[in-house]
A and B are shown apart, each in its own frame.
Chain A
Amino acid sequence: MTAVVEENTASSAPESQAGAVASFEVTLRIRRYNPEVSAEPTWEEHTVTAYGTDRVLDALHKIKWETDGSLTFRRSCAHGVCGSDAMRINGRNRLACKTLLKDINPDKPITVEPIKGLPVVKDLVVDMEPFFASYREIMPFLVTSGNEPSREHLQSQADRDRFDDTTKCILCAACTSSCPVFWTDGQYFGPAAIVNAHRFIFDSRDEAATQRLEILNDKEGVWRCRTTFNCTEACPRGIEVTKAIQEVKRAMITRAF
């Protein structure tokens, strides 16, 4: 890798070489916030050189490492697995590590903001605690009896498929923070909590479905969902979030009538 780069820089026109990755200038318009300096957030623009293979996260790294070390954001895996870098990019919730710059029109400044509806701590870092509090409330663990530790809990492929979609959640909060009902007062459980409840409610090995349905049959539970589909559009894992919410609603209705 290093050798190739050196070879490229040595030659006169790296751009013209076969297999060379095109580079371009891109401007990021970032919403900065530091409560120790000002109570008001400000917009700041940074222009960096990026490559066709670069993601928004790479551009943020470049700014943080080369221009302004005070830029604050979360990231861990950098490969769409850990769920720590959900942010509002050009007005849509995405993972910075899964969004290629070339896919979101780098000719115009790209806006980068913290996800909405959760309190901002600094720059792109929000306080995730209210989000995880809702997650904990729905009991995100298997509740079951029998077969203690010695034997497996068997499950058919069809039973596993029933909740396969909702097992993919990485708890990035892109869905919950894209929901206008959540934005209003942050009291709604939010799509992510419902998705993770769905993962256990429809698991044939789990025995606490009734309890989870009761928890979500709340004024701030599934009935606040207005089916706007923002969550489904936002989910970086492609989970059909609105559908999962709807299935939980249906389970409650069949139980009540």
Chain B
Amino acid sequence: MAQTDATPLVASPRSPYVRRKTTRGNFELYSWVFMRASGVVLVALIFGHLFVNLMVGDGVHAIDFAFVAGKWASPFWQVWDLLMLWLAMIHGTNGVRTIINDYAQRDLTRGVLKSLLYLAFTLTVVLGTLVIFTFDPCPPEAPAELLASFCTA
């Protein structure tokens, strides 16, 4: 029985599999409900958006700078696009968060990917919201040759 020294040490196979901590709470419940609720609203917003942009009147041929400028002159389309931006961004970001949770195996990978995700979310939502509310098709101090034709007309 002098072989005890040579017996290889087999680590407990269990160690990484034990659930590390209890994480009870309603967050994932609300997130699950939000995905469905925002999905339903997004169907209406996205198909309404596609219909108005691509099918009404001249359809897709009517889209140019003036078309977008015209839409954002109306508070109705401002609110529509704002809702679409926010809902799609929260919905999409939350969806990717789920995917990261499902596929990332290490906490560090998970942390890095989620930080990048939330950074991208913040940038897009802040810039998008800023543009929708501060958009001015004919800024008064801009040089005339940079302006759209309808500003000078």
Interface residues in chain A, defined as those with a beta carbon under 8 Å from any beta carbon in chain B: 35-36, 118-121, 127, 129-130, 133-134, 137, 180-181, 184-187, 189, 214-215, 217-221, 223-224, 226, 249, 252-253, 256
Contacts and interface: CB of A to CB of B under 8 A. Distances in A.
Interface of B: 7-8, 10, 13-14, 16-20, 22-33, 98, 101-105
B19 A220 contact: yes
Contacts of B29: 217, 223, 252-253, 256
Given A133-B19, A256-B29, 19 more contacts: A120-B13, A121-B13, A130-B19, A134-B19, A137-B19, A185-B16, A187-B19, A189-B19, A215-B24, A217-B26, A217-B28, A218-B23, A218-B25, A219-B23, A219-B24, A219-B25, A224-B28, A224-B101, A252-B29
Best-buried of A129, A187, A252 by chain B (most CB within 10 Å): A187
Nearest to B7: A36
Contacts of A221: 24, 28
B29 to A, nearest CB: 6
Contact of B28 (A118, A185, A223): A223
Contacts of A137: 19
Contacts, number: 75
Given A134-B19, A181-B102, A36 B32 contact: no
Contacts of B19: 130, 133-134, 137, 186-187, 189, 220
A130 B17 contact: yes
A218 B22 contact: yes
B34 to A, nearest CB: 12
A91 B20 CA distance: 30
Lowest 7 A-B CB distances belong to which pairs?
A119-B13, A223-B28, A219-B23, A130-B17, A186-B17, A218-B24, A127-B13
A127 B17 CA distance: 10
Nearest to A214: B24
A118 B17 CA distance: 8
Nearest to A35: B10
